[in-house]
Amino acid sequence: MKHLRIGTRGSLLAKWQAESVRKQLFALAGVEAEIVIIKTSGDKMQQAPLSQIGGKGIFIKELEDALLDESIDLAVHSVKDIPTDVPRGLSFPAVCRRDDIRDCLISPTGSTLETLRQGARVGTSSLRRRAQLLRLRPDLDIRELRGNVDTRLRKVGDGEYDAIVLAKAGLDRLGSSQRISETFAPELFMPAVGQGAIAVETRLNDNETGDLLSKLDDPETRAAIITERALLGALQGGCQVPIGAWARVERGEMVLEACVTSVDGQQHVKQRLTGPPDQGVQLGEQMARLLMETGAQTILEEVGRQRG
């Protein structure tokens, strides 16, 4: 097996994820790999709100370009950063076993969402999190928060925000779980599509690398991700649409819960469906239709108007 080059973003979390894949490849097949840091457009535009620069693919495009021009052999991504359209010539032979899917609150005072002061400043760059926070606490002052996990933790520690919301999996991976004030139940606060999962991308024609990476694949996680991404694709949502979803296999069947929440938190549509685990695409598309029929269409049209 050739010496492999693993492409990743340069954040601490992205490097941790790439290193995790590197170690697994060595443990499984004795394959040596080097990590290549690539700066993405999402990393370069740290000041602009994600909702303005358009979330689709801004954290992975340069990595995919590097794959296509063969300057790297594989790229490691957080699934929630991956657009529903995959470029021709690329594929995902590995979706690694999923970590914690939940969101959590970090407050220097140890406050929970319920005990935060009236009008507290809460930081997030996600429309989904903003919408769900305002649904539960309409008094909160939700403020834009950009930067890597370590930057965001520093900002809340410095008092720029009373609290911030992050994915628990990222904090777990970085050994920062002790900073968490509250972990949200997914039934109350629905995670992003793909949250907590890592996927590895390579060239479709690189069979040797693809076969090797397939050893890292977790079929149950892949089935859940296929289901959630089918829903996202059917709703034509990028990461900047207030959609939450959680698919998992329970007692042999796929359970999919999903919600769409208006940006001000005033409207909220939530549904639950079940189906065979191997029919995730159909289940996701069925969920999209159900959500649209029960109020999501109005919410998404309004979001589209607001973004112009």
Buried b (16+ CB within 10 A) or exposed e, 86-96: ebeebbbbbbb
Tokens representing 117? 């002061």
Q: Which residues are catalytic, by number? A: 81
CB 101 within 8 A of CB 159: no
Condensed to tens digits (0 to 9), the pLDDT of residues 105-154 reads 999 999 999 999 999 999 998 999 999 999 999 999 999 998 889 999 99
The pLDDT-based confidence of 39 (bands split at 50, 70, 90) is confident
CB 129 within 8 A of CB 161: no
The pLDDT-based confidence of 233 (bands split at 50, 70, 90) is very high
Residue 54 above 60 pLDDT? no
Residue 43 above 70 pLDDT? no
CB 260 within 8 A of CB 296: yes
Q: Tell me which DSSP letter residue 98 carries.
A: P
Per-residue pLDDT, 146:
87
Over the Cα atoms of the chain, what is R_g?
Answer: 19
Per-residue pLDDT, 126:
92
For the chain, the domains span 4-96+197-217, 103-183, 232-307
Condensed to tens digits (0 to 9), the pLDDT of residues 164-199 reads 999 999 999 999 999 999 999 999 999 999 999 999
Is 232-307 assigned to CATH 2.30.30.90?
no
pTM of the complete model: 0.92
* Identical fold between 4-96+197-217 and 103-183: yes
Q: Which CATH number fits domain 4-96+197-217: 3.30.70.240, 3.30.1300.30, 3.40.190.10, 3.40.50.1980?
A: 3.40.190.10
Is 103-183 assigned to CATH 3.40.190.10?
yes
Q: What percent of the chain has pLDDT over 70?
A: 93
